[in-house]
Amino acid sequence: MTKASQPTSSNRVIHIPRRFTEREWGGTETVIYEICKVQQQGHWAPEIATSKALDPKSPDTIESVPIHRFDYCYPFFGLSQNDRELMDKKGGNLFSFSLLNYLYQTNNVRMFHAHALKRVGGIVRTAARRRKLPYVVSLHGGVYDVPQSELAGMMKPIENKPEWGRILGALLGSRRVLEDADHVICVGKTESEKAKNELSHDRVSYLPNGVDTEKFKNGDGCHFREKRGIPQDAHLTLCLSRIDPQKNQLCLVEAFAKVHHQDKNTALVIIGPPTHPGYAQAIDTKIEELGLGAAVHVIPGLSNTDSELINAFHASDVFVLPSLHEPFGIVVLEAWSCLKPVIASRVGGLKSVVTSEVTGLFFDPESPEAAQQLAQLIQRLKQNPSEAQALAEAGNQVARSQYAWSSIASQLEGIYDAAEEQARSRWGRP
């Protein structure tokens, strides 16, 4: 990490997520980072402006991408430190005066690109309107395609807490962020269809996530297994995602127990930052109850730059994403890039990313028999390595042909052009 410098280019685009940290990396961070890298290779000068949630360092860079982080608050009375940490990790509706001031004052900006709604989105909307600049909003699956149970979990830290920030939301026009956006981008096809039905305008595009297939092409799976005491000939199931009820790892543990009961030479690896500590504890308890302590390895998050992430994919025999809700599932593309077969939930964006029985296998995570279904699919690929290889090769071909970041960034360029045209029309500028 080195100190960030402020670009002076008139092609400066500022990406604004709710938080951005290497310590708890996820799909949204990957998307923003990869887009910034491709934009730097073209004529854009991208940077990231965000809050200090989970990472106070500012200015900062990740490789050559500048990052500015700002002080923030949660405008509720009676929040404990634990409440704040839970909201930092997932879904917290924060506000930042210094971020708003930065977007007001910083020079040579051509485009704002928001990756959050609520008060953060309102900050972007307000700054864009004041400066008569275009802004686009990316929906990473958090609006039209979220189960009520997940929303309830996200709201739990502020339950019965008096809110003093409603006036801030009203002043920022937080509820009009999508209506007033010069373009709305959805990473999930299901969410894009719902957005088009819900919004009064047609400035909505489906733009999937991408993958750097070359980055994932090579890895040392043997080293990964040796380091964790996993036999080289054991059949290894991998899940890489946030440890959270949404990701449904408890179902995977129960499914793996059925597989392990029939064949002890099997292992399960779960990697991801715990965004819900209670759920992480529940997984540990379930592993102990089922007597799987020696066969299940839970790794609570690795840095995006850690080679062990890629090594984990290459160490695995099958990749499983058992989510209850998934707007896209970028880790599926990463598994395909490592030539690994995929088993996924038939939900959300995964239904349009994975082609059943061609590039992957589906199970129903809401079924009372979900764990049994998943166990049977893992057993099926374990017993039929040629089928597993065919699925992996088909997925790899799709990742290479349809999801290269250069192609995604090119489509984004067209969206930016449309947004600029909309802004010119709105503000009467030449």
**pTM for the whole structure:** 0.90
C-alpha separations of 355 from 191, 361, 371, 386 in Å: 18, 8, 21, 18
Separation between Cα atoms, residue 66 and residue 107, nearest integer Å: 15
Q: How many CA atoms lie within 13 A of 57 on its CB side?
A: 14
* Strand ranges of the sheet holding 266-271, from the earlier edge strand across to the other edge: 296-299, 266-271, 235-240, 318-321, 342-345, 361-363
Backbone angles phi, psi at 155, to 5 degrees: -85, -10
Residue intervals in the chain for CATH 3.40.50.2000 = 12-210+404-427, 221-402
Helices 370-383 and 249-262: angle between axes, nearest 10 degrees? 50
List beta partners, residue 239. 270
Q: Are 53 and 78 in contact (CB under 8 A)?
A: no
pLDDT digits (tens, 9 = 90+) for 95-136: 999 999 999 999 999 999 999 999 999 999 999 999 999 999
pLDDT of residue 1: 39
- CA 359 from centroid of its chain's CA atoms: 21
Please list the alpha-helical segments (H only) found in 8-96: 27-41, 81-89
**Under 8 Å CB-to-CB from 242, ≥6 apart: which residues?**
24, 26, 90, 272, 273, 274, 275
Q: Mind giving me the DSSP string for 144-205? A: SS--HHHHHHHHGGGTT--BS-HHHHHHHTGGGHHHH-SEEEESSHHHHHHHHHHSSS--EE
CATH number for the segment(s) 221-402: 3.40.50.2000
**Under 8 Å CB-to-CB from 199, ≥6 apart: which residues?**
178, 179, 184
List beta partners, residue 299. 271
Pairing assessment for the beta strands 135-139 and 109-114 based on DSSP bridges? parallel
Using alpha carbons only, give the angle 40, 88, 152 rounded to the nearest 5 degrees: 120
Torsion of CA 321, 322, 325, 326, to 10 degrees: 10
Separation between Cα atoms, residue 229 and residue 220, nearest integer Å: 15
pLDDT of residue 149: 61
Fold of 12-210+404-427: Rossmann fold (3.40.50)
Which residues of the chain carry a pLDDT beneath 70? 1-9, 142, 144-155, 429-430
Which DSSP letter does residue 376 get?
H
Using alpha carbons only, give the angle 60, 65, 70 rounded to the nearest 5 degrees: 40
**CA max distance for the chain:** 70
Q: Are 166 and 142 in contact (CB under 8 A)?
A: no
**Across 160-316, where does the E strand assignment appear?**
183-186, 204-206, 235-240, 266-271, 296-299
pLDDT of residue 116: 96
3-state secondary structure at position 26: coil
Q: Is the dihedral of CA 272, 278, 284, 287 positive or negative?
A: negative
Residue with tokens 């920022």: 172
Backbone angles phi, psi at 277, to 5 degrees: -55, -40
